[in-house]
Every structure is written in structure tokens, then in C-alpha cells.
Amino acid sequence: MPRVNAVAVIGAGASGLASIKSCLEEGLNPVCFEREDDIGGLWNYTEDPRPGKGSVYKSCIINTSKEMMAFSDFPVPTDFPPFMPHGFVLEYFRLYARHFDLLKHIRFGCSIEAVNRADDYEETGRYVLTIRRTEDDQSAGVEELTVDGVMVCSGHHVYPHIPELSGASAFKGMKLHSHDYKIPGPFEDMNVLVVGAGNSAVDIAVDLSRTTKKVFLSTRRGAWVISRMGPLGIPADALCNSRAFFSLPLSVLQTLVKLMANFRFSHRNYGLQPTHAPLQAHPTINDELPHRIMTGAVQVRDDVAAFGAHDVTFKDGGHEEIDAVIFATGYDYKFKFLDDDILSMDNNKPGTGLYRFMMPAHLRHPTLSVIGLVQAIGSVIPISEMQARWHARLLTGGASLPEKAEMDSDIEEKSSRMKEQYVDSQRHTLQTFWIEYMDTIAEEIGVRPNLGRLALSDPWLSLRCFLGACVPSQYRLEGPGRWSGARDAILRSLSNNAKATQSRVLHDEPQGLQLSALLWLLIAVFLAVLFVWR
Ligand SMILES: Cc1cc2nc3c(=O)[nH]c(=O)nc-3n(C[C@H](O)[C@H](O)[C@H](O)COP(=O)(O)OP(=O)(O)OC[C@H]3O[C@@H](n4cnc5c(N)ncnc54)[C@H](O)[C@@H]3O)c2cc1C
Ligand SMILES: *[C@@H]1O[C@H](CO)[C@@H](O)[C@H](O)[C@H]1NC(C)=O
Ligand SMILES: *[C@@H]1O[C@H](CO)[C@@H](O)[C@H](O)[C@H]1NC(C)=O
């Protein structure tokens, strides 16, 4: 017998955990199915690569600061570093799961094989899941369950995408996709080619560069490389992902990001100069690459023209002997347990047909969503949480979707805007600015902070919300799911970020000085930019 308001959550990574929590918050009955026997998804590092299971590499450090990647009502502990290596991220998820008592809603070792409309779907919007227990022998383990809602949280870093490169099959050395890269050990003293200049490509190139003979980083388009660490050692994302910054016109934003990117090193001199403007493609976050290029350990090269058995020719005519190739060329978007008529990944253009990147617009009922399928300049974790909060409201009737025609035209409009704004690439069908996206969904739930009203009742908080980092707790100040700790979390975000680095006790200088100086500096810069712009 199905339980009333049973909602299936598929996967227990960051998105799944936030979905369970959001269902509970709305009085629904979540039941989460996780194929593995642990939570954390990608952030549960495993040494042996397995097909179908994604995990980060051993040296992976999150590229968004802890204040910006946190769940909105559960700040990262003060003593965790501002940029967390993967072990801390997993530990944070464990603390979250424990705090909200989520584990008892998860069935580990259960793989969802299919999701189909129930016989009474037209009236009820229900789905039938086919569940396979992964440890059991194949025949005994299949079970069916009817549920009132489905949140798909199965991740999209699973199926390696390797572009057609001429002669890649002719290459006789070691070949792998970044999905299967774990440690630099096997590549010691080799010449390695890394294809791509995204986050994983650059991380892997840097990781390899200390033990290999040489690393060649091949890029077609170049990339804007931004450091995690900003001025005064403050996380750059906490400085930039603010409402003040993103209320500037796009061209001003682009100029500022360009200035910032070129402040530390010249993209032209370091071979990285892209043809596109900043924010026209996803940026690459890396602190170490310029230094590794400077020592000659990494060399940036042009796009690959052809492979030989043990060598590669680049489009600019360059030629190198190489022992191994790593393709950091992204992933194919697939949800194997969903039929095309429920969710279609139209030629690897995953944004197609998804309202707000999460609700298939053609479905009759708002009972199925995809959580975490967004490319934002900012952490996807709070986005998943916001999406889950909205879907939970849609399931309880606390929110509703517009007519299909309206959704279709919204999708159409977003997609043509993306085509104008970004260079053509599969992941740019899911691209959005972080604050803009969060605000849009927050509006649907009624949790978008009203800074005008706030300015009357709590001017200091309102100013912080506008000028300071747009931390996820801003979406817990009002409306359903309001959290009494939100004000504190917002006001303390900068110092919470800094605490873990202040490991040596100093007795002299008052430490408040730097932060307030910085705040004033920001106000001054903001006003100056506004002034110049006018
Ligand atoms: C190398 C790398 C670095 C990254 N760095 C960052 C970063 O710095 N900051 C950031 O915000 N994001 C980063 N990301 C993005 C990352 O996707 C998110 O941080 C987050 O992990 C997404 O969580 P998720 O729950 O959506 O997916 P996942 O973590 O992939 O979890 C999906 C879960 O679903 C389970 N599952 C899948 N299919 C089934 C099924 N059929 N039945 C049952 N269970 C199933 C899987 O076992 C898994 O546990 C990074 C991604 C990669 C690959
Ligand atoms: C990662 O997940 C596996 C199961 O898939 C589990 O056995 C292991 O303990 C987890 N690792 C960590 C570090 O938690
Ligand atoms: C951080 O890295 C992941 C994986 O490489 C990437 O998908 C994400 O966009 C990056 N975040 C930012 C803010 O660039």
C-alpha cells in the first residue's frame, strides 16, 4: 500500500539530502533510494573508478567558499576551512543528515531501474518505481512502489563525454576520461596531455604537474581563470556573489571580472586568452595554474589537430611526444531510468523542455522534478535545496505552475537569451547567474528577501544583504521555512569564513578593523563604478 504523500527521492548526494529535508519541512513522506551504501554522491571519494559511479579525485577541493555552498539553515562549522577539501564536504553532509535526522528516510543499496506513470496517472499524477536491491541476486531483488511524487537527484557527472577527435583511436598510450582520474601516481615522469580548460581539466593538470615530466593543456577556446582567493585573502566568490555586484550592467561586470582575472597574471602571456568575454562561458576556478605555467611544468597549447600512436599535433602546428591523454571534456546527460516521453535529454541539450531547468513542461502534473541540473556561476548545492523547497511546495499545493503555453514561452525565451549571451556548448543550455536563479525560485515560494521592507525594520541587515555575500541564509529570513538563525548566519558569514585560518592566537590588533575597512572599500568601489558608468 502506498503511503499518502509518499515522495521518492532518487539519490542521496547533496541534492537528495536537501530534497529529503525539504519534503519533511512540508509535511511530506520522503523515501530516498540510494544505489551505494553511503551518502554524499560525488563527494564520497572512492579510489577505484567504477562505471556509473562518479566521485571526485583525491586532490579535489571545492571551488566555492563554505559560506556560499552551505545549505541555507545549516552553516558549515566554524572550524572547517573556508575552501574545503572533499573530506570536509562529505563530513558536512553527514552533520546535516544527522542534524535533521535524514538517514532513516534513506534506503541504501537500492537502485531505481525505471520510473513510469501509474495507471491512474491522469487523475493522480502518481508514478511507479522499479527498485532493484543492489546486493541481492538479480532475480530476487526487484520490487515496485507507487509514489505521489518523484525528485530525481541522481547527478549528471556519470557518463563521460569524449568528443570525436581525429585519430584518438590511433593513439596507443594511456587514455582516460577525467571521470576515472584519481591520483597523479600512475603518470609519474610521463608527458601527459590534458584536453580541456574547464575546472576539472585545470585541477588535474595542476595535480599532475608536480610529478610528471610535462603537462600539456590543450584548449580550443581558452578560459578566464579566477582564483579562489580574492583581495586580502578573502574568498573571491564571497566578494563577488553579492546583490550589489550583480546589479551592475553586464558590460561593467565583464570589465570588472576581466580586470580581476588579469590582475594576477596576463591571460595573453600565459596562453589562456579566450576569444569570449568573461561570463560568456563558465569560468575556471584555480589558484595554482598560473604558478605551474610559470615554472614550465604546465604548458598551454592549442586545440588538438590529430593524434599519432605516441604523439599529438596541435592546430597551430605544434607537435609533441606524449605518453598519456586525459579527456576532461565533460559529461553526457542521461537519465537511464526515465523514458524519453517523461524526460528527454534532446541531443545532449539538457535544458530543452525543462521549466526553470527542473520541471518537464509537457507533463500533466507537477509531480516529477529534476534537482541539481543547473550550471550556475556559484555553488549548485544551495540551488538544489531551493529547487527541492519549491517542488515540495508544488506537491502540497502551496505553489503552482503556470499554464503549459506560458512555461514553453519562458523556456524559449531563456534559451534564446543563453544563445546570445554564451558561447555555443552543451552545458550552456543550463547556464544561469546564481542570484538571479535563486531569486526567481525564491519568488515562487515566497522566500525572496524583501530588502526594501527590511531596510525599515533592520537597516544594517538589509545593507549586508545587498552589499555583502549573498549567502543562502538570505532565503530563510521570511516566508515558509523561515529560520530564526538566519540573521546571525548572514551577519557572521565573513568571520565564520575567516575563523579557521586564524589558527595562531594574536593578542594585539583588533581583527574587526580589516573587515569593516573592506566593507567601506566595497561601498566606495561600488559608488565609484556607478558614478563612472553614468
Ligand atoms: C570533480 C567535480 C568537482 C565539483 N566541484 C564542485 C564545487 O566545487 N562546487 C559545487 O558547488 N559543485 C561542484 N561539483 C558539482 C557537483 O555536481 C555538486 O557539488 C553536487 O555533488 C551535486 O550533487 P547531486 O546530489 O546532484 O549529485 P551526485 O553527487 O552525483 O549524487 C547522485 C547520487 O545518486 C545516486 N544514484 C544515481 N542513480 C541512481 C539510481 N538509478 N538509483 C539510486 N541511486 C542513484 C548516486 O549513487 C549518487 O549517490 C563538482 C563536480 C565534480 C564532478
Ligand atoms: C563511500 O561509499 C562507500 C559505498 O559506496 C562506503 O563503503 C564508504 O565507506 C564511503 N566512503 C567514505 C569515505 O565515507
Ligand atoms: C566548480 O567545479 C565544478 C566541477 O568541475 C564545476 O561544475 C562548477 O561549475 C565549478 N564552480 C564554479 C563556480 O565555477
The residue-averaged pLDDT of 297-311 equals 95
Looking at residue 371, its amino acid is I
Cβ-contact 469, 242 below 8 angstroms? yes
* Nearest protein CA to atom 2 of ligand 2, as residue: 38
Residue of higher predicted confidence among 312 and 353: 312
Strands 284-285, 191-195: pairing kind: unpaired
> Does 259 share its domain with 221?
yes
| C-alpha cell at position 112 | 531505481
- 147 C-alpha to ligand 3 centroid (Å): 33
- Identify the residues whose C-beta falls under 6 Å from ligand 2: 36-38, 44, 46
515 has a pLDDT exceeding 70: no
Cβ-contact 23, 30 below 8 angstroms? yes
> Does a structural domain hold residue 503?
no
Atom in ligand 3 nearest the alpha carbon of residue 376: 9
Tell me the per-residue pLDDT of 427-444, one tens digit each, with 9 for 90 and over.
Answer: 667 888 999 999 999 999
* Nearest protein CA to atom 4 of ligand 2, as residue: 37
Atom in ligand 1 nearest the alpha carbon of residue 157: 53
Range of the domain at 311: 162-329
What does the pLDDT read at residue 134?
81
Spatial distance between the Cα atoms of 324 and 192, rounded to a whole number of angstroms: 5
Tell me the per-residue pLDDT of 193-207, one tens digit each, with 9 for 90 and over.
Answer: 999 999 999 999 999
What does the pLDDT read at residue 1?
33
185: pLDDT confidence band, cut at 50, 70 and 90? very high
Give the domain-ending residue among 266, 301, 329: 329
What does the pLDDT read at residue 503?
87
What does the pLDDT read at residue 531?
63
> Does a structural domain hold residue 490?
no
CA atoms within 13 A on the CB side of 476: 22
Nearest to 225 by CA among 258, 248, 195, 193: 258
Spatial distance between the Cα atoms of 177 and 159, rounded to a whole number of angstroms: 10
Looking at residue 85, its amino acid is P
What is the number of the ligand closest to the CA of 430?
3
Q: What is the CATH number of the domain that holds 313?
A: 3.50.50.60
The residue-averaged pLDDT of 127-132 equals 96
Does the Cβ of 283 fall within 6 Å of ligand 3? yes
CA atoms within 13 A on the CB side of 253: 15
127 has a pLDDT exceeding 70: yes
> Does a structural domain hold residue 494?
no
51: pLDDT confidence band, cut at 50, 70 and 90? low
* Nearest protein CA to atom 6 of ligand 3, as residue: 199
2: pLDDT confidence band, cut at 50, 70 and 90? very low
- 273 C-alpha to ligand 2 centroid (Å): 40
Out of 13-22, 146-155, 466-475, 498-507, pick the least confident.
Answer: 498-507
Out of 4-8, 121-125, 139-143, 268-272, pick the least confident.
Answer: 139-143
Spatial distance between the Cα atoms of 138 and 111, rounded to a whole number of angstroms: 12
The mean pLDDT of the chain is 91
> Does a structural domain hold residue 505?
no
Contacts (Cβ under 8 Å, ≥6 apart) of 269: none
* Nearest protein CA to atom 14 of ligand 2, as residue: 44
> Does a structural domain hold residue 512?
no
Spatial distance between the Cα atoms of 378 and 70, rounded to a whole number of angstroms: 11
Cβ-contact 70, 24 below 8 angstroms? no
> Does 376 share its domain with 275?
no
> Does a structural domain hold residue 34?
yes
Does the Cβ of 372 fall within 6 Å of ligand 3? no
What is the number of the ligand closest to the CA of 31?
1
Q: Residue-wise over 204-235: b if at least 16 C-beta within 10 A, else e?
A: bbbbbbebbebbbbbbeebbbbbbbebeeebb
Residue of higher predicted confidence among 285 and 494: 285
What does the pLDDT read at residue 158?
86
SS3 sequence of 326-391: EECCCEECCCCCECCCCCCCHHHCCCCCEECCCEECCCCCCCEEECCCCEECCCHHHHHHHHHHHH
- CB atoms under 10 Å from CB of 449, counted, come to 24
* Nearest protein CA to atom 20 of ligand 1, as residue: 14
What is the number of the ligand closest to the CA of 59?
1
- CB atoms under 10 Å from CB of 325, counted, come to 22
> Does 68 share its domain with 119?
yes
What does the pLDDT read at residue 348?
66
533: pLDDT confidence band, cut at 50, 70 and 90? low
* Nearest protein CA to atom 1 of ligand 3, as residue: 63
Residue of higher predicted confidence among 399 and 509: 399
% of the chain at pLDDT higher than 70: 93
Atom in ligand 3 nearest the alpha carbon of residue 284: 14
| C-alpha cell at position 395 | 506537491
> Does 89 share its domain with 208?
no
Spatial distance between the Cα atoms of 373 and 8, rounded to a whole number of angstroms: 18
> Does 190 share its domain with 313?
yes
Helix axes 459-467, 512-533, angle to 10 degrees: 70
> Does 205 share its domain with 283?
yes
What does the pLDDT read at residue 526?
74
Q: How many domains does the chain have?
A: 2
> Does a structural domain hold residue 461?
no
> Does 198 share its domain with 324?
yes
> Does 308 share its domain with 347?
no
> Does 166 share its domain with 279?
yes
524 has a pLDDT exceeding 80: no
Residue 391 falls in which region: left (phi positive, over 0), alpha (psi -120 to 50) or beta: alpha
Give the H/E segment covering residue 9: strand 6-10
- CB atoms under 10 Å from CB of 77, counted, come to 14
How many residues does this entry show for the chain?
Answer: 534
> Does a structural domain hold residue 120?
yes
What does the pLDDT read at residue 532?
66
Strands 311-314, 319-321: pairing kind: antiparallel
Give the domain-ending residue among 329, 359, 377: 329
Give the domain-ending residue among 389, 407, 441: 441
Atom in ligand 2 nearest the alpha carbon of residue 37: 4
> Does 429 share its domain with 348?
yes
Question: Which range, 256-260, 391-395, 513-517, has the best average confidence (pLDDT)?
Answer: 391-395
- Identify the residues whose C-beta falls under 6 Å from ligand 1: 10-16, 33-36, 41-43, 54, 56, 60, 62-64, 69, 111-112, 153-155, 157, 200, 337, 372, 379-381, 384
Spatial distance between the Cα atoms of 532 and 157, rounded to a whole number of angstroms: 43
| C-alpha cell at position 257 | 571580472
Spatial distance between the Cα atoms of 419 and 357, rounded to a whole number of angstroms: 16
